[in-house]
Amino acid sequence: MRHLYDGVPDILAEIETRAPDTSDHLAETARIVDLHHPRRLALTVAEVIVETPTTRTFRLRRADGEDLPPFLAGQYVGVFTDGTSRPLAISSSPARLDHYDLTVRRVPGGRISNHLIDTLAAGDQVTTTGPMGTFHHNPLFHGEDVVFLAGGSGVAPAMSMIRDIVDHGLDRRFHLLYGSRDEQDIIFRDELDRIAAGRPRIRIDHVIGDLLTAGTIRDLAGPLEGRMVYVCGPQALYPYALEQLTALGHARRRVRFEANGAPARPEEQAHWPAGVDPVEEVIVTAGGRSFRSPRGRPLLDALEDHGIRPEAACRSGECSLCRVRVVKGRVHTAEEARLRLSDERFGYTHSCVAYPLTDLDLDL
């Protein structure tokens, strides 16, 4: 049929005379993807820096010393260890890609923070995800005058943001309100003070042993109108900070919270069914195995307890990597879960913030 069409000889001639494409697209595509978004990074602990009695910074490099993927100050990597993973903010500067610093503070009773601090030493290998997350300055709408409320190790992303401003010579006004329990708990104290000293646009205020009340925020930071406020710290800080900021009349959409793990007490959420005991165990069946797990334990952790490792990164309901399908039974999906509209309808949930209410069958 083709010969009947007008214009065919011209088109055939064009095909004929084209320079052949001889690129290795398989290799080139893999190279581009790995440059920015490698699925996994195999890193070496180059150095362990003692920040405070309870805090260490792990400096990670590639074995070959090549640059790591670029990231936005405030982003995290998922670190795989001991049969599970944890998201940890990169505290180093996005201008120095020969290493990522991860700053870890002991969480009392916390399994992985203590495990890392107690066992990880220079020369050890660590596997992480690539950089991820949306808790970063976005020049399209955050503006160039921002405030950061940090508590404890929540200063890690702030440190990276400040280093970004310094190393890239950005004209951004950055005010850090940093709450610590006591003087010796302050992470990065010397560097923060040194940076702030010569730079009027970077301000650091330490709040020691006190809450970041509305009054404190107002007195230290001044009017918030139009400024973006970042919040990162222990879980309890979030509802409290939101309340204080709201009391100051600050718009909700000018507040950005870093992802913050699964709720420790899901039964306190309004939609947890009345009278259902979070301690009681139910039977979870997944990946060809059945096991008992308490209702109050997130499914992702429960699966990992039994050697099943779904993909995961944020462990806070945001990234959707841990998405699973509930084939039978009922789960409590925490408010933190950012499900897609169609997920509920077809029975999907984010296992990192979902809790088994009844015996369950899961598709991984």
Q: Give, rounded to a whole angstrom, the gap between the first and last alpha carbons of the chain.
A: 50
In a 13 Å sphere around the CA of 175, the CA atoms on its Cβ side amount to 16
Q: Does 320 bind ligand FES (CB under 6 A)?
A: yes
Select 180 or 293, whichever has its Cβ closest to ligand FES.
293
Structure tokens at 140: 């399209």
List the one residue from 163, 175, 250, 315 that touches ligand FES (CB under 6 A): 315
Q: For 284-293, which contacts have Cβ atoms below 8 Å and span 24 or more sequence positions?
A: 284/356, 284/359, 284/360, 284/362, 285/359, 285/360, 285/361, 285/362, 286/324, 286/360, 286/361, 286/362, 286/363, 286/364, 287/362, 287/364, 293/356
- Under the binding rule (CB under 6 A), the answer on residue 147 touching ligand FES is no
Under rule CB under 8 A, which residues in 111-140 are in contact with another protein? 134, 138-140
Which letter, b or e, does each residue of 22-55 get, where b requires 16 or more Cβ atoms within 10 Å of its Cβ? eeeeeeeeeeeeeeeebeebebbbbebeebbebb
Binding range to ligand FES, per CB under 6 A, among 91-99, 121-129, 265-273, 320-328: 320-328
Residue 315 binds what, of ligand FES, another protein, none (CB under 5 to 8 Å, by partner type)? ligand FES
Binding flag, residue 352, ligand FES (CB under 6 A): yes
Six-digit token string for 38:
């490698």
CB of 29 to another protein, least distance (A): 5
Q: Report if residue 95 touches another protein, rule: CB under 8 A.
A: yes
2 near another protein, judged by CB under 8 A: yes
Indicate which of ligand FES, another protein, none lies near residue 37 (CB less than 5 to 8 Å, by partner kind). another protein
Choosing from 313, 331, 334, 360, the residue that interacts with ligand FES (CB under 6 A) is 313
Contact footprint for ligand FES (CB under 6 A): 312-315, 317-322, 350, 352
